Amino acid sequence: MLRAPRTSHPYWDYELRRLTAAVLLALLAAGAAAAEPGLTRVFIDCYACDLDYIRTEIPFVDQVRDPEQAQVHVLATTQPTGAGGTELTFAFIGREGWAGSSDTLRAVWAPADTDEERRAAVVRTLKLGLIRYVAGTPAAKDIAITYSGTGAADAAADPWRSWVFTESVNSAMSGQHARKSVSLNASLSASRVTAPAKINLNGWVNYGDEKFETDSGRIRSVTRDQGAYALWVKSLGEHWSAGARGTLNASTYNNMKLAVAAGPAVEYDFFPYSQSTRRQLRFLYGVNYNSYRYREETIYEKTYENLYDHSLTVSLEATEKWGSAYLSLQGSHYLHDIHKNNLQVTADLSLRLWEGLSLRLFATGSRVRDQLFLPRGGATEEEILLERSALATQYTYNSSVGLSYTFGSIHNNVVNPRFGA
């Protein structure tokens, strides 16, 4: 008897059988577990994942921020591999109608993988693990190899109307015989991010107190900084957006009793905003009204002043197979005097030069001509040494270079946690 030659790979036969079994199991379970209408609610508990990229690549589930509201909790953990890479273990834990249903899948990041390759591996693994929980939902009809729906129509009802609130309080204390330090930081934020618009509101209070015992006596350094920030942005299509922003700030470091800044802004992205997880080239222009009340008289003999400024920021962000890049150029000046200006450049590059060889470059620098707040009396030696006050300068810079090379076996994905990593 003549038989057709076998053309498929055994690995793909196994994956096909495994995926088919998972789908059939989900269809059988659908009759026993009454699934709620709409998209499957999923909480992805993964600090190493690019959640924005996952949202764009897996639109057939509803990602929630609270595990108690999820039907599926995806718990991700990481461990180093013998080849110098990272093994990610994804535990898919069913809840509500899926209680008792679980699965575990793994993905491996090689040492030479770029950010693009790593997040693609995460998405690929998540899709395989989530298919059993999606098969009984309305989204299943749109899933073949890729998902053609948007998922927006089936979004779950949200009593918070997309508002998210975060409170944070942190304190620290350290000391020894000749030095004691206490710090307190508190913040409150509220945000609402939707496709038509977004709102960010933030407030903070920072306090630091240091005491030093020297041969000449005790030195005490106290710094205070508090403020608030508000941003509202309206979407105007795939390339344009407009909004307004404002800040309130009081700072001992910047000689500021109260600084108020507010004004409109407009932004254009050369690439569509829908591609923001892969690439962005944004041009942001804004105008601000500024009201300054100083703690001490400034070098320009001012205790208060009201000024206007404007700024332009050009930012390029890209994540590709070769690595990732971030470049930014920001310039601003006060309208009453163009010579009171500031120019800042930032570059952050992560490049894969060769298999196993990667390069990381970071550099930022600025030309400073707008320090209107400097106190007329200058800074004392104590303030300079303890960094309690901003100093007059015409420039700032910061840079770093890193090079890494990994070679040897690329097939050793064994995890051995003994004696730690």
Structure tokens of 160? 């918070």
pLDDT band at 7 (very low <50, low <70, confident <90, very high): very low
Residue 271 and residue 282 in contact, taking contact as beta carbons nearer than 8 Å: no
Residue-wise pLDDT for 117-166, tens only, equals 999 999 999 999 999 998 888 888 777 755 555 555 555 677 888 888 88
Residue 89 and residue 108 in contact, taking contact as beta carbons nearer than 8 Å: no
> Per-residue DSSP letters for 221-271?
EEEEEEEEEEEEEEE-SSSEEEEEEEEEEEETTTTEEEEEEEEEEEEEESS
Q: How far apart are CA 391 and CA 373, in angstroms?
A: 10
Q: Delimit the domains of the chain by residue range.
A: 12-142
Residue-wise pLDDT for 170-194, tens only, equals 999 999 988 999 999 999 999 988 8
pLDDT band at 31 (very low <50, low <70, confident <90, very high): very low
Residue-wise pLDDT for 323-377, tens only, equals 889 999 999 999 999 999 999 999 999 987 877 788 999 999 999 999 999 999 8
Residue 49 confidence (pLDDT) above 50: yes
pLDDT band at 321 (very low <50, low <70, confident <90, very high): confident
Residue 407 confidence (pLDDT) above 60: yes
Which residue is it, tokens 């994942």?
49
Residue-wise pLDDT for 195-210, tens only, equals 899 999 999 999 999 9
pLDDT for the residue numbered 5: 42
Sign of the dihedral through C-alpha 214, 217, 221, 222: positive
Q: How far apart are CA 23 and CA 38, in angstroms?
A: 18
pLDDT for the residue numbered 156: 60
pLDDT for the residue numbered 363: 98
pLDDT for the residue numbered 236: 97
3 state DSSP class of 285? strand
Query: In this predicted structure, which of 23-27, 95-99, 145-149, 389-393 has the lowest mean pLDDT?
Result: 23-27
Over the chain, what is the mean pLDDT? Answer: 85
Catalogue the long-range contacts made by 249-254 (C-beta closer than 8 Å, 24 or more residues apart): 249/225, 250/224, 250/225, 250/226, 251/224, 251/225, 251/226, 251/227, 252/222, 252/223, 252/224, 252/225, 252/295, 252/388, 252/389, 253/223, 253/225, 253/388, 253/389, 253/390, 254/373, 254/390
> Per-residue DSSP letters for 156-191?
PP-TTTTEEEEEEEEEEEEEETTEEEEEEEEEEEEE
Q: How many CB atoms lie within 10 A of CB 72?
A: 26
pTM of the predicted protein model: 0.72
Residue 3 confidence (pLDDT) above 70: no
Which residue is it, tokens 């609270």?
66
Query: Residue 273: which residues within 8 A CB-CB, separation 6 or more?
Result: 235, 238, 239, 241
Please choose, from the candidates 87, 69, 234, 79, the residue with its C-alpha nearest in 3D space to the C-alpha of residue 164.
69
